[in-house]
Amino acid sequence: MSAMNWPILSLIVWLPIVTGVAILFLSESRAAMGKALALAAAVAALVLTLLAVAGFDMTTAAMQFQEKTPWIEAFSINYHLGVDGLSLPLIALTALTTVIVVIAGWTIKDRVSQYMGAFLILSGLMSGMFAALDAMLFYVFFEAMLVPMFLIIGIWGGPNRIFATIKFFLFTFFGSVFMLVGLIWLYLQSGSFAVADLHQLPLSLTAQIWIFLAFLIAFAVKVPMWPVHTWLPDAHVEAPTGGSVVLAAVMLKIGGYGLVRFSLPIAPDGAAALDWLVIGLSLVAIVYIGFVALAQRDMKRLIAYSSISHMGFATLGLFLTFAIVQNTGQTDGAVLGISGAMVQMISHGFISGAMFLAGGVLYDRVHSREISAYGGVANTMPWFAMFAVLFFMANSGLPGTSGFVGEFMVILAAFKADFWFAFFAAMTLILGASYSLWLVKRVFYGEVANDNVAGLSDLDGREWTVMVVLAILVLALGLWPYPLIEMIEPSVANLVDHITNTKINP
Amino acid sequence: MILSELQLALPEIFVATMACVVLVADLFVTEQRRGFTHTLAVLALVFAAIITLRVMMPVGESLLAFSETFVRDRFGDVLKLFAYLVLAGVFVYAKHFLRAAGLFRGEFYSLSLFALLGVMIMVSAASMLTLYLGLELLALSSYALVALNRDSASGSEAAMKYFILGSLASGILLYGISLIYGATGSIQLGQISDALAAGMSDNLMLSFGLAFMVVGIAFKLGAVPFHMWLPDVYQGAPAAVTLLISSLPKLGYLALAIRLLADGMGNMHDDWQAMLAVLAALSLILGNVVAIAQTNIKRMLAYSTISHVGFVLLGILAASPAGYSAAMFYTIVYSMMSAGAFAVIILLSGNGVEAENLDDFKGLAKRSPWYALMMLMIMFSLAGIPVFVGFFAKWQVIAAAIQSGFVGLSVLAVVTAVIGAFYYLRVVKLMYFDEPDNAAPVTAPIDFRAVLSVNGLAMLGLGVFSGGLIGVCVRAFA
């Protein structure tokens, strides 16, 4: 631990929220001030996050930078924050995404300050959720973030935004209430909402299965897993570009994070008993949703389906553990699978965010999301085409990009579990390449399709900045993933160690 | 120090006196100076709060007075304080509306104070007779208030319905009380409890009495299937009166239920738990589902009330201190949320025309961003979304119900809460996503704006710092 004794996590959480609330009340004529403040807060939060990363001890799985204050004493609920190798990378991803979204939203015209404020509040809530070590605090952050997202899609979204945002809200709300019941039941068993206490709580197999299912509904909706994924394409298509980026880059990771932090360690035996279910759903997502993506004619919809398919990899990697340990008797493969899933989540955060931004660049100019409205964009926007092709290549898992690392680790782990798991998972290399590259071909290459495309102008300075940052990250993580894996691994090893021991009361 | 019996009842005596003073003083006030009556009524509440606070009962202690018909305890004191607070808010909100609607009369204030007195008597009742007395005082004041606008056909119809069904409910409750008296030989709640603990022979009579009592309570609370009067009364009454009857009496009915069922019939909790479970389940389902179909916001909030009653019943039927304190927290929070929601309706009503239709909320965010934000917080709080206080209310009730083994009912409750979220979201949608039909700015006097702002922000503040109020409620049942 470093000498940093000030509450760095609280600052990361509350700085964006407080600034965001303040910005909400700026009038339309103060829009420039709102944007400047938003950017300042987002950058400050990112700097704080990087300080936390710098001060983070990579050799231990213990929670770091902990803060604990009583919150609701009658129920021994604490305001308890802390990070380990599983949550800190996701907080960093959140902080980075916020900066990108603020920059990407610079051209918004309608209710600018409120737009920026909503994103900052959302960002703080997401960081708070990743850092929460008290289940009740987690749940509060988990649910509260629905409110800004609901408003972001509903106010700044596309033509069918109201349907999309209400569907988004009700789906996620429906999922999470079961988790609430589960958490309350666990509290009544253990007398504590502390995540660490819940991890140690012995439970019968039946109880674990029920708890596991209650949590699974909540997190499966968030991931989203097939068949509760249908809100995502609608939400993505209708959301403003910034909303899509946050949804894809961070919000989808919440489901995966929840599975790692809650489902697996609290109900390991339940997870072991039902791992076939999650693996099955993940494989369906990878293969079937891959085919669905292939059939899309709307760019954002295609990227949305691609996200579902890629998140299938993350859930697959998490739940291979039990089969691997059973087959090999060792935990190495399981650590590989879960680390792969975590890397996949971070990498997908960069890539999907970048793809939605690329879609936004085109939409800003032509105001169409239809793939058929484009063709030969590379002729008029060569620089943009270069970045976009890189991101779509990364999405199809090209070695040297971040998209390759996570997928490779998960497929490698899948081989240790079952050949057929690996076989179906590897299908994504073909499917992902098909829909990604086919999109690239239809949109970017070939003859200039129409006057709209002929009149396109290449990236401006603001778009350049965003694209360059994301391109560097995608390549850096692809070529040198070691620092990230080093940060994740102790926590994953600790987790695997925990979940491979039964919690059933002797 | 031994407090004399009169001193124990000082808040009630004071409020009764002030109700009469307001009644008489108003006779000497001209139409233009009616604000004086308003100020006097608000001051009465402030001093009532001071009087109550000066001799707050310590946690866990209670004192009986007037031949054990009157009880002073922490639970009662806390409820009374919130009753003053809610009524003070109602007065400020109502003044604006009553002025515009030409109903700004002194009767509103004296009747409201009598209704408050009824609530206070119920809250402090230690015998079934006292309970009934408070209940009738509250009910009669409410009937008259609903008919405040005597030229309005819908108002008179609502008052008539309310009166007939309310009297029926009182009759049923009274019949239940008489049966219990017949079986136990007492109307004093403590003695009934002792008699039940000693083992009663005449179980049939007791069960019948209990069933009638539960029906009476359900009628008053508006639990399904005894809810029919509620939407009509909410819709028909002037908005200022709906505001009142949707908030203040709930505190009294909560006390009615807890005093009768928990204090008096605690030993028969197996019986009433089963009855309340059915009522709660039906209220949750019907309230939330039917609210979706409403286009009139007063009716929508009426069905929303029914669903919230389901939650309160869920807390009571846990039959544990945790459950009672959860129900208490829920009711207090609910009365604030409800008052806030009706206040926004009043805010949008102008020139005597009530903004009853959901469409009146269209584009409020453009017309008045601040009040739209207040309504947004109230709506999300009603829907039970964290970090707003409504969530903590729901969460505690569910925790208490699960603790008492009602897991299935709790799952039903949270699922219906999701259904319910839809119609609250629709209000938010109208305010934020739609364009306004008229661009007229929203205006209100300064006191109205201040109280509404505090009310809206309390949804957030009480949520973020929910530990305080939760602690107060938990200690009330220590």
- Tens-digit pLDDT string for chain B (478 aa): 456 888 888 999 999 999 999 999 888 888 888 888 899 999 999 999 999 998 888 888 888 888 888 998 889 999 999 999 999 999 999 988 888 888 888 889 999 999 999 999 999 999 999 999 999 999 999 999 999 888 888 888 999 999 999 999 999 999 999 999 988 888 898 888 888 888 765 688 888 999 999 999 999 998 988 988 999 999 988 888 999 999 999 999 999 999 999 888 888 888 889 999 999 999 999 999 999 888 888 899 999 999 999 999 999 999 898 899 999 999 999 999 999 999 988 888 866 567 788 888 888 888 888 888 999 999 999 998 888 999 999 999 999 999 888 988 999 999 999 888 889 988 888 888 888 887 777 888 888 889 999 999 999 998 888 888 888 888 888 7
Q: Give bridge partners of residue A301 from the DSSP assignment.
A: none
Q: Using the beta-carbon criterion (under 8 Å), do B398 and A184 form an inter-chain contact?
A: yes
Residue A23, C-beta contacts closer than 8 angstroms, at least 6 positions apart: A34, A37, A38, A113, A114, A116, A117, A120
Contacts of B425 in chain A (CB under 8 A): 150, 166, 169-170
A-B contacts at Cβ under 8 angstroms: 86
Q: Contacts of residue A173 in chain B, CB cutoff 8 Å?
A: 385, 418, 421
- Angle separating helix axes A205-222 and A161-190, nearest 10 degrees: 160
Smallest CA–CA distance from A164 into chain B, residue: B429
Q: Assess A71–B contact: CB distance below 8 Å, yes or no.
A: yes
Looking at CA atoms only, how far is residue A217 from chain B in angstroms? 13
* Chain A positions in Cβ-Cβ contact with residue B392 (cut-off 8 Å): 72
Query: Phi and psi at residue B70, in whole multiples of 5°?
Result: -135, 135
Distance CA B404, CA B398 (A): 10
Is the CB of residue B391 less than 8 Å away from at least one CB of chain A? Answer: yes
To probe the interface with A, which of B329, B394, B395 has the most A CB atoms within 10 Å? B395
Could you tell me if A174 lies within 8 Å of chain B, comparing CB atoms?
yes
Residue B288 corresponds to which amino acid? N
Buried-exposed string A437-464: b where 16+ CB fall within 10 A, e elsewhere: bebbebbbeeebbeebbeebeebeeebe
Angstrom distance (rounded) from CA A437 to CA A392? 7
β-partners of residue A83 are A64
Locus of tokens 């690239």: A440
Nearest residue of A to residue B475, measured between CA atoms: A74
- pTM to 2 decimals? 0.90
Contact A193/B at CB under 8 A: no
pLDDT of res. B195:
86
Give residue B180's identity as a one-letter amino acid code: I
A44 to chain B nearest CA, in Å?
24
Contact criterion met (CB below 8 Å) for A253 and A86: no
Task: List the structure tokens of B188.
Answer: 């004093």
Interface contact B395-A180, CB threshold 8 A: yes
CA-nearest residue of chain A to B428?
Answer: A151
Which residue in the set B385, B403, B414 is minimally distant from A147, CB to CB?
B385
Tokens of A371: 């793939």
Contact (CB, 8 A) for A224 and A231: yes
User: Which residues does chain B have within 8 Å of residue A77's beta carbon, measured at their own beta carbons?
Assistant: 467
| Cis peptide, bond prior to residue B386, ω within 30 of zero | no
Contact B402 A181 (CB under 8 A): yes
Compute the nearest-CA separation of A177 from chain B (Å). Answer: 6
Instruction: Flag whether residue B398 sits within 8 Å of chain A, measured between CB atoms.
Output: yes
Write down the pLDDT at residue A430: 86
Is B113 an 8 Å CB contact of chain A? no
Q: Please report which helix (H) or strand (E) contains residue B339, including its range.
A: helix B321-348
Handedness of CA B2, B8, B14, B17 (dihedral sign): negative
CB nearest B418 (choices: A72, A154, A173): A173
**One-letter amino acid of B296:** N
Q: Which residue of B has its CA nearest to A138?
A: B386
CB A155 to CB B433 under 8 A?
yes
CA atoms of B331 and B340, how far apart (whole Å): 14
A134 half-sphere exposure, CB direction, 13 A CA radius: 22
Q: How far apart are CA B175 and CA B179, in angstroms?
A: 6
Q: Do A173 and B428 touch (CB under 8 A)?
A: no
Tell me the chain A residues in contact with residue B432 when contact means C-beta distances shorter than 8 Å.
151, 154-155
CB contact under 8 A, A173 and B467: no
Query: CB-based contact (8 Å) between B111 and chain A?
Result: no
In terms of CA atoms, which chain A residue is nearest residue B409? A181
User: CA nearest B434 in A: which residue?
Assistant: A155
State the smallest CA–CA distance between residue A416 and chain B in angstroms. Answer: 39
- CA atoms of A380 and A456, how far apart (whole Å): 6
Q: Are residues A357 and A241 in contact, defined by beta-carbon separation less than 8 angstroms?
A: yes
CA distance A206 to A185: 13
B36 touches chain A (CB under 8 A): no
Check B422 against A143: CB less than 8 A apart. Answer: no
Shortest Cα–Cα distance, A130 to chain B (Å): 16
Q: In the 8-state DSSP scheme, what is residue A263?
A: I
Q: Does B385 touch chain A (CB under 8 A)?
A: yes
Asked if residue B324 lies in contact with residue B255, where contact means CB atoms within 8 angstroms, the answer is no
Q: Rounded to an integer, what distance in angstroms lies between the CA atom of residue A200 and that of residue A439?
A: 48
Cross-chain Cβ contact A170/B422 below 8 Å: yes
Which pLDDT score is estimated for B202? 63
In the block, residue with structure tokens 């903004």: B355
Chain B interface disruption, residue of A71, A173, A221, most B CBs within 10 A: A173
Q: Which residue has the tokens 């439970």?
A: A203
Give the CA count within 13 Å in the CB-facing half-sphere of B450. 5
Closest CA to B314 of A226, A204, A181, A129: A181
Instruction: Report the pLDDT value the prediction gives residue B442, as an integer from 0 to 100.
Output: 81
- Is residue B156 within 8 angstroms of chain A, CB to CB? no
Shortest Cα–Cα distance, A88 to chain B (Å) = 24
**Strand runs (DSSP E) across B62-117, as ranges?**
62-65, 70-73
Q: Tell which of B288, B428, B475 to mutate to test the A interface (max A CBs under 10 Å).
A: B428
Q: Which tens digit of pLDDT belongs to each residue from A158-216?
A: 788 888 888 888 888 888 888 988 999 899 888 888 888 888 888 888 888 999 999 99
Q: Is A180 on the interface with B (CB under 8 A)?
A: yes
What is the Cα–Cα distance from A306 to A285, expressed in whole angstroms?
10
Inform me whether the C-beta atom of residue A187 falls under 8 Å from chain B C-beta atoms.
yes
- Closest residue, chain B, to A180 (C-alpha): B395
Rounded CA separation A136/B398 (Å) = 14
- Cα torsion angle, B459, B462, B465, B466, sign: negative
Cross-chain Cβ contact B418/A74 below 8 Å: no
Contact B400, B323 (CB under 8 A): yes
Nearest to A416 by CA among A490, A333, A303: A333
pLDDT along chain A (506 residues), means of 10: 68 90 84 86 91 86 85 86 89 91 85 88 92 91 90 85 87 88 89 86 88 91 86 87 87 90 89 88 89 87 89 88 81 85 90 89 83 82 88 87 87 85 85 87 82 79 86 89 88 85 73
According to the model, what pLDDT value does residue A46 have?
92
The alpha carbon of residue A20 is apart from the nearest alpha carbon of chain B, in Å, by 14
- Write down the pLDDT at residue B140: 93
Q: With beta carbons under 8 A apart, name residues in chain A contacting B418.
A: 170, 173-174, 177
How far apart CA B230 and CA B158 sit, in angstroms, is: 9
The token pair that represents B59 in the structure block: 């946690």
Following DSSP, what letter does each residue of A91-140 receive, concatenated?
Answer: HHHHHHHHHHHHHHGGG--SSHHHHHHHHHHHHHHHHHHHHB-BHHHHHH
pLDDT at residue A1, as a whole number: 43
Q: What chain B residue is nearest to A114 in terms of C-alpha separation? A: B369
Distance CA B473, CA A379 (A): 69
* Chain A contact for B395 (CB, 8 A cutoff): yes
Residues forming a β-bridge with B296:
B357
Residues 6+ apart with CB under 8 A from A329: none
pLDDT at A4: 55
Nearest to A421 by CA among A304, A502, A333: A333
User: What's the N-to-C CA distance of chain B in angstroms?
Assistant: 23
- CA–CA separation, A385 and A392 (whole Å): 10
Under 8 Å between Cβ of A324 and A418:
no
| SS3 state at A267 | coil
Three-point CA angle B416, B422, B423, nearest 5°: 105
Note whether B398 contacts A178, CB cutoff 8 Å: no
Q: Which of A131, A128, A137 is nearest to A183 (CA)?
A: A137
Say if A451 is an interface residue toward chain B (CB within 8 Å). no
CA distance A158 to B429: 15
Q: Tell me whether B387 touches chain A (CB under 8 Å).
A: yes
Amino acid identity of B76? G
| Residue A184 distance to chain B (closest CA, Å) | 6
